[in-house]
Amino acid sequence: MELRYLESFEAVVRCGGFTKAAADLHLAQPAISAHVKRLEKELGVTLLNRSRTVTLSAAGEQFLPYARLALANLEEGKRLMQSFRSVSAGHVRVAITPLTGNFDVAGLLGRFRARYPQVTISLSTGLIAELLGKLEAGQVDVVIGPAGAADERQGWRRTEITSERLVLITPLAGRGHVNTLADVAHEPFVCLPSDSGLRHLLNEAFGVIGVEPRVDFETHSPASIREMVAANLGCAIIAQSIVEKQGTAVRVHHIPGLPPHPPISVMSEEEPAPPTARFLEELEATIQEHAR
Protein backbone atom coordinates (compact mmCIF):
# COMPACT_ATOMS: atom_id res chain seq x y z
CA MET A 1 0.00 0.00 0.00
CA GLU A 2 1.54 3.28 -1.11
CA LEU A 3 1.49 6.33 1.11
CA ARG A 4 0.23 8.56 -1.70
CA TYR A 5 -2.93 6.44 -1.95
CA LEU A 6 -3.75 7.18 1.67
CA GLU A 7 -2.94 10.87 1.22
CA SER A 8 -5.25 11.14 -1.79
CA PHE A 9 -8.10 9.28 -0.07
CA GLU A 10 -7.85 11.44 3.06
CA ALA A 11 -7.68 14.65 1.01
CA VAL A 12 -10.84 13.75 -0.98
CA VAL A 13 -12.75 13.22 2.26
CA ARG A 14 -11.32 16.32 3.96
CA CYS A 15 -11.77 18.62 0.97
CA GLY A 16 -15.14 17.21 -0.10
CA GLY A 17 -14.27 16.09 -3.62
CA PHE A 18 -11.62 15.08 -6.13
CA THR A 19 -11.13 18.53 -7.68
CA LYS A 20 -10.46 20.25 -4.35
CA ALA A 21 -8.26 17.37 -3.21
CA ALA A 22 -6.17 17.68 -6.36
CA ALA A 23 -5.66 21.39 -5.70
CA ASP A 24 -4.79 20.71 -2.06
CA LEU A 25 -2.15 18.13 -2.97
CA HIS A 26 -0.95 19.98 -6.08
CA LEU A 27 -1.74 17.00 -8.30
CA ALA A 28 -3.90 16.48 -11.37
CA GLN A 29 -7.44 15.26 -10.68
CA PRO A 30 -6.96 12.03 -12.71
CA ALA A 31 -4.01 11.16 -10.47
CA ILE A 32 -6.14 11.54 -7.36
CA SER A 33 -8.87 9.37 -8.85
CA ALA A 34 -6.35 6.72 -9.84
CA HIS A 35 -4.84 6.65 -6.36
CA VAL A 36 -8.21 6.11 -4.70
CA LYS A 37 -9.19 3.39 -7.18
CA ARG A 38 -5.92 1.55 -6.61
CA LEU A 39 -6.41 1.79 -2.86
CA GLU A 40 -9.93 0.39 -3.17
CA LYS A 41 -8.67 -2.41 -5.39
CA GLU A 42 -5.93 -3.28 -2.93
CA LEU A 43 -8.35 -3.33 -0.01
CA GLY A 44 -11.09 -5.09 -1.98
CA VAL A 45 -13.80 -2.63 -0.88
CA THR A 46 -15.43 0.59 -2.09
CA LEU A 47 -14.34 3.48 0.11
CA LEU A 48 -16.22 6.35 -1.58
CA ASN A 49 -19.71 6.71 -2.98
CA ARG A 50 -19.37 8.72 -6.21
CA SER A 51 -22.37 10.73 -7.39
CA ARG A 52 -22.93 14.46 -7.56
CA THR A 53 -21.16 14.56 -4.22
CA VAL A 54 -18.52 12.25 -2.83
CA THR A 55 -19.38 10.52 0.43
CA LEU A 56 -17.84 7.79 2.50
CA SER A 57 -19.13 4.27 2.17
CA ALA A 58 -19.63 2.17 5.29
CA ALA A 59 -16.22 0.62 4.69
CA GLY A 60 -14.73 4.07 4.08
CA GLU A 61 -16.04 5.34 7.42
CA GLN A 62 -14.33 2.44 9.17
CA PHE A 63 -11.07 2.85 7.26
CA LEU A 64 -10.69 6.64 7.48
CA PRO A 65 -9.51 6.81 11.14
CA TYR A 66 -6.78 4.28 10.42
CA ALA A 67 -5.63 6.18 7.35
CA ARG A 68 -5.49 9.44 9.29
CA LEU A 69 -3.63 7.77 12.17
CA ALA A 70 -1.06 6.36 9.76
CA LEU A 71 -0.54 9.77 8.16
CA ALA A 72 -0.33 11.47 11.57
CA ASN A 73 2.26 8.97 12.78
CA LEU A 74 4.32 9.60 9.69
CA GLU A 75 4.22 13.35 10.26
CA GLU A 76 5.25 12.86 13.87
CA GLY A 77 8.13 10.72 12.68
CA LYS A 78 9.19 13.43 10.24
CA ARG A 79 9.10 16.04 13.01
CA LEU A 80 11.16 13.78 15.24
CA MET A 81 13.79 13.32 12.55
CA GLN A 82 13.87 17.06 12.01
CA SER A 83 14.42 17.57 15.72
CA PHE A 84 17.48 15.31 15.55
CA ARG A 85 18.98 17.75 13.08
CA SER A 86 18.00 20.92 14.91
CA VAL A 87 17.00 20.93 18.58
CA SER A 88 15.08 24.12 19.36
CA ALA A 89 13.39 23.03 22.59
CA GLY A 90 13.25 20.26 25.14
CA HIS A 91 14.47 19.23 28.56
CA VAL A 92 17.37 17.09 29.78
CA ARG A 93 17.41 15.51 33.25
CA VAL A 94 21.03 15.10 34.38
CA ALA A 95 21.95 13.22 37.56
CA ILE A 96 25.49 13.30 38.94
CA THR A 97 27.20 11.67 41.88
CA PRO A 98 29.31 13.76 44.28
CA LEU A 99 32.32 12.13 42.60
CA THR A 100 32.94 13.19 39.00
CA GLY A 101 36.73 13.05 38.98
CA ASN A 102 38.29 16.18 37.55
CA PHE A 103 35.58 16.51 34.92
CA ASP A 104 34.12 20.02 34.70
CA VAL A 105 30.38 19.34 34.78
CA ALA A 106 29.48 23.01 35.30
CA GLY A 107 31.54 23.99 32.26
CA LEU A 108 29.81 21.33 30.17
CA LEU A 109 26.37 22.62 31.21
CA GLY A 110 27.43 26.18 30.33
CA ARG A 111 28.63 25.23 26.85
CA PHE A 112 25.52 23.17 26.15
CA ARG A 113 23.26 25.99 27.29
CA ALA A 114 25.08 28.48 25.07
CA ARG A 115 24.60 26.23 22.04
CA TYR A 116 21.00 25.20 22.80
CA PRO A 117 19.50 28.10 24.79
CA GLN A 118 15.92 26.80 24.43
CA VAL A 119 16.72 23.44 26.05
CA THR A 120 16.22 23.42 29.82
CA ILE A 121 18.24 21.25 32.21
CA SER A 122 17.47 19.85 35.64
CA LEU A 123 20.35 18.66 37.81
CA SER A 124 20.06 16.19 40.67
CA THR A 125 22.57 14.28 42.75
CA GLY A 126 22.85 11.05 44.70
CA LEU A 127 24.88 7.87 45.01
CA ILE A 128 25.50 5.87 41.86
CA ALA A 129 23.21 2.92 42.66
CA GLU A 130 20.28 5.25 43.30
CA LEU A 131 20.89 7.24 40.12
CA LEU A 132 21.25 4.16 37.92
CA GLY A 133 17.94 2.97 39.36
CA LYS A 134 16.36 6.25 38.29
CA LEU A 135 17.84 5.87 34.82
CA GLU A 136 16.36 2.38 34.57
CA ALA A 137 12.98 3.72 35.73
CA GLY A 138 13.06 6.53 33.15
CA GLN A 139 13.24 9.25 35.83
CA VAL A 140 16.52 10.75 34.55
CA ASP A 141 18.10 10.94 31.09
CA VAL A 142 21.82 11.03 31.88
CA VAL A 143 23.87 9.76 34.82
CA ILE A 144 27.46 10.90 35.42
CA GLY A 145 29.50 9.11 38.06
CA PRO A 146 31.66 6.08 38.88
CA ALA A 147 30.32 3.22 36.74
CA GLY A 148 32.02 0.35 35.01
CA ALA A 149 31.01 -2.39 32.60
CA ALA A 150 29.32 -4.30 35.44
CA ASP A 151 26.82 -1.44 35.80
CA GLU A 152 25.65 -1.55 32.18
CA ARG A 153 22.15 -2.72 31.26
CA GLN A 154 20.62 -3.82 27.99
CA GLY A 155 19.50 -0.77 26.06
CA TRP A 156 22.04 1.51 27.75
CA ARG A 157 25.25 3.02 26.52
CA ARG A 158 28.25 3.95 28.63
CA THR A 159 31.04 6.36 27.76
CA GLU A 160 34.10 6.55 29.97
CA ILE A 161 35.08 10.10 30.93
CA THR A 162 38.17 9.60 33.06
CA SER A 163 39.87 6.96 35.16
CA GLU A 164 40.02 6.93 38.96
CA ARG A 165 42.07 5.13 41.61
CA LEU A 166 41.78 4.62 45.33
CA VAL A 167 44.15 6.04 47.92
CA LEU A 168 44.25 5.81 51.69
CA ILE A 169 43.98 9.04 53.67
CA THR A 170 44.77 9.54 57.35
CA PRO A 171 44.74 12.58 59.66
CA LEU A 172 47.83 14.78 59.78
CA ALA A 173 48.15 13.83 63.43
CA GLY A 174 48.11 10.16 62.56
CA ARG A 175 50.78 7.80 61.24
CA GLY A 176 53.41 9.39 59.08
CA HIS A 177 54.06 6.22 57.12
CA VAL A 178 51.56 3.55 56.15
CA ASN A 179 52.81 0.72 53.97
CA THR A 180 49.74 -1.51 53.78
CA LEU A 181 46.11 -1.47 54.78
CA ALA A 182 46.94 -3.87 57.59
CA ASP A 183 48.86 -1.04 59.29
CA VAL A 184 45.57 0.77 59.95
CA ALA A 185 43.24 -2.22 60.02
CA HIS A 186 42.06 -1.55 63.55
CA GLU A 187 41.72 2.22 63.20
CA PRO A 188 38.28 3.83 62.89
CA PHE A 189 37.22 4.54 59.28
CA VAL A 190 34.96 7.12 57.67
CA CYS A 191 32.91 6.05 54.66
CA LEU A 192 29.71 6.49 52.68
CA PRO A 193 26.55 4.54 53.65
CA SER A 194 26.53 0.75 53.61
CA ASP A 195 24.79 0.54 50.21
CA SER A 196 27.31 2.77 48.46
CA GLY A 197 29.89 1.68 45.92
CA LEU A 198 32.69 3.07 48.09
CA ARG A 199 31.58 0.96 51.06
CA HIS A 200 31.68 -2.14 48.86
CA LEU A 201 35.23 -1.24 47.82
CA LEU A 202 36.23 -0.75 51.45
CA ASN A 203 34.78 -4.14 52.39
CA GLU A 204 36.56 -5.72 49.43
CA ALA A 205 39.89 -4.23 50.45
CA PHE A 206 39.55 -5.43 54.04
CA GLY A 207 38.35 -8.83 52.87
CA VAL A 208 41.73 -9.41 51.27
CA ILE A 209 43.45 -9.09 54.68
CA GLY A 210 40.71 -11.01 56.48
CA VAL A 211 39.53 -8.15 58.70
CA GLU A 212 36.19 -6.41 58.96
CA PRO A 213 36.52 -2.62 58.67
CA ARG A 214 35.59 -0.55 61.70
CA VAL A 215 33.37 2.14 60.18
CA ASP A 216 32.63 4.53 63.03
CA PHE A 217 31.40 7.39 60.88
CA GLU A 218 29.14 7.48 57.81
CA THR A 219 28.70 10.60 55.75
CA HIS A 220 27.06 11.78 52.53
CA SER A 221 29.88 12.62 50.12
CA PRO A 222 33.55 11.99 49.37
CA ALA A 223 34.37 15.63 50.13
CA SER A 224 32.77 15.22 53.56
CA ILE A 225 34.88 12.08 54.15
CA ARG A 226 38.01 14.14 53.57
CA GLU A 227 36.82 16.81 56.01
CA MET A 228 36.06 14.23 58.71
CA VAL A 229 39.45 12.57 58.29
CA ALA A 230 41.08 15.99 58.55
CA ALA A 231 39.15 16.48 61.80
CA ASN A 232 40.94 13.39 63.19
CA LEU A 233 37.81 11.21 63.18
CA GLY A 234 39.38 8.29 61.36
CA CYS A 235 40.98 7.00 58.17
CA ALA A 236 39.40 6.41 54.78
CA ILE A 237 39.95 5.04 51.32
CA ILE A 238 38.84 7.53 48.74
CA ALA A 239 39.13 8.47 45.07
CA GLN A 240 42.41 10.21 44.34
CA SER A 241 40.71 13.11 42.55
CA ILE A 242 39.09 14.14 45.84
CA VAL A 243 42.44 14.74 47.53
CA GLU A 244 43.89 16.45 44.45
CA LYS A 245 41.42 19.30 44.86
CA GLN A 246 41.93 22.17 47.29
CA GLY A 247 40.55 21.42 50.71
CA THR A 248 41.35 20.38 54.23
CA ALA A 249 44.77 18.81 54.74
CA VAL A 250 45.17 15.05 55.13
CA ARG A 251 47.97 12.54 54.67
CA VAL A 252 47.72 10.62 51.38
CA HIS A 253 49.11 7.08 51.12
CA HIS A 254 49.47 5.17 47.85
CA ILE A 255 49.39 1.63 49.18
CA PRO A 256 49.24 -1.66 47.26
CA GLY A 257 46.32 -4.05 47.30
CA LEU A 258 43.43 -1.60 47.02
CA PRO A 259 40.71 -2.69 44.57
CA PRO A 260 40.30 -0.87 41.27
CA HIS A 261 37.98 2.11 41.32
CA PRO A 262 35.29 2.28 38.60
CA PRO A 263 35.98 4.92 35.96
CA ILE A 264 33.92 8.08 35.86
CA SER A 265 31.39 7.42 33.10
CA VAL A 266 28.27 8.82 31.53
CA MET A 267 25.31 6.45 31.23
CA SER A 268 22.19 6.92 29.12
CA GLU A 269 19.76 5.06 26.92
CA GLU A 270 21.18 3.85 23.60
CA GLU A 271 18.59 5.87 21.65
CA PRO A 272 17.82 8.96 23.72
CA ALA A 273 15.45 11.79 22.83
CA PRO A 274 16.94 14.53 20.60
CA PRO A 275 17.80 17.06 23.38
CA THR A 276 19.57 14.32 25.35
CA ALA A 277 21.37 13.14 22.21
CA ARG A 278 22.71 16.66 21.65
CA PHE A 279 23.79 16.86 25.30
CA LEU A 280 25.71 13.61 24.96
CA GLU A 281 27.36 14.86 21.77
CA GLU A 282 28.51 17.98 23.62
CA LEU A 283 29.81 15.84 26.49
CA GLU A 284 31.74 13.51 24.18
CA ALA A 285 33.24 16.49 22.34
CA THR A 286 34.41 17.84 25.72
CA ILE A 287 36.00 14.49 26.58
CA GLN A 288 37.88 14.43 23.27
CA GLU A 289 39.04 18.02 23.76
CA HIS A 290 40.45 17.23 27.21
CA ALA A 291 42.16 14.12 25.84
CA ARG A 292 44.24 16.16 23.39
> What pLDDT digit, counting tens, does each position of 140-165 carry?
999 999 999 888 888 999 999 999 99
Inter-residue long-range contacts of 111-117, CB under 8 Å, 24+ positions, other chains counted: 111/282, 111/286, 112/278, 112/279, 112/282, 115/278, 115/282, 116/87, 116/275, 116/278
Question: Regarding the domain with residue range 166-253, which homologous superfamily does it belong to in the CATH classification?
Answer: Periplasmic binding protein-like II (3.40.190.10)
What's the one-letter identity of residue 132? L
Q: Name, in order, each residue with C-beta under 8 angstroms of 213's C-beta and a sequence gap of 6 or more.
A: 185, 189, 191, 202, 203, 205, 206
Predicted confidence band of residue 88 (pLDDT cuts 50, 70, 90) = low
Question: CATH for 86-163+263-291?
Answer: 3.40.190.10
Average pLDDT rounded to a whole number, residues 87-104: 87
Report residue 59 CA to chain centroid gap. 46
Q: From CA 276, how far away is CA 281, in angstroms rounded? A: 9
Q: pTM for this one?
A: 0.67
Mean pLDDT lowest for which of 131-135, 171-175, 182-186?
A: 171-175
Q: Within 86-127, where are the H helices?
A: 105-115
3-81 matches 166-253 in fold: no
pLDDT tens per residue, range 212-241:
999 999 999 999 999 999 999 999 999 999
Share in percent of the chain as helix, strand, coil (round to 5): 45, 20, 35
In this prediction, residue 284 carries a pLDDT of 87
Question: CATH for 3-81?
Answer: 1.10.10.10
Domain boundaries, the chain: 3-81, 86-163+263-291, 166-253
Average pLDDT rounded to a whole number, residues 194-208: 94
The mean pLDDT of the chain is 90
